[in-house]
Amino acid sequence: MKNLNIIDRFEDEFAFLSNFYIHTQIHDGKEYDSNEHWYQANKSSIEEEREAIRLARTPGIAKRMGSKKGYKKFKITLREDWENAKIDIMMEGLMNKFSNPFLKKKLLNTYLLMLIEGNRWHDNYWGSCTCNKCKKKFKRNALGHLLMAVRERKLIEVSKKKEKKDAS
């Protein structure tokens, strides 16, 4: 039986929660086609590498370009502080993404629901892999937790705006 208090896949009506969701974000005056583009580009401190990832044709290509294996002849130079910075980079991207009124409303409509980035590609850091191989592994679900934190921040923003409006 499906738990109605959980969104456990970022697809179909909940695809907007995925980092692969196509939506232009602007950071420092530059456009990124998805949060995946933003996140992967920030793995490098070399401007040419960041720009190449920013301009990747799809979020999937951006992800491959930012991976250890690289993409075709492209190999990223991982910035030294990446392990310490990656959560903050993801949070910055998500806050930017969900400042869009349409996406913010969709996110706020998930209020009271647990968000789990369910997958079958063995990602138990950002999500929760549902394959048999990962059944007993710890699932951090960092993306789901960050999305819920962004949702809380956006709820507080909306509440403060309403209070201000009511006070005037």
Give the pLDDT confidence of 94-108 residue by residue, as tens digits.
Answer: 999 999 999 999 999
pTM above 0.85, yes or no: yes
- For the chain, give the percent of residues with pLDDT over 90: 88
SS3 content of the chain, % helix, strand, coil (to 5): 50, 10, 40
Secondary structure class of 48 (helix, strand, coil): helix
Task: Write the CB contacts of 108 (distance below 8 Å, at least 6 apart in sequence).
Answer: 151, 154, 155, 158
Q: Which of 140, 143, 15, 29 is nearest to 86 (CA)?
A: 143
| pLDDT tens per residue across span 42-80 | 999 999 999 999 999 999 999 999 998 888 889 999 999
Q: For the chain, which domains are there?
A: 6-167 (1.10.357.40)
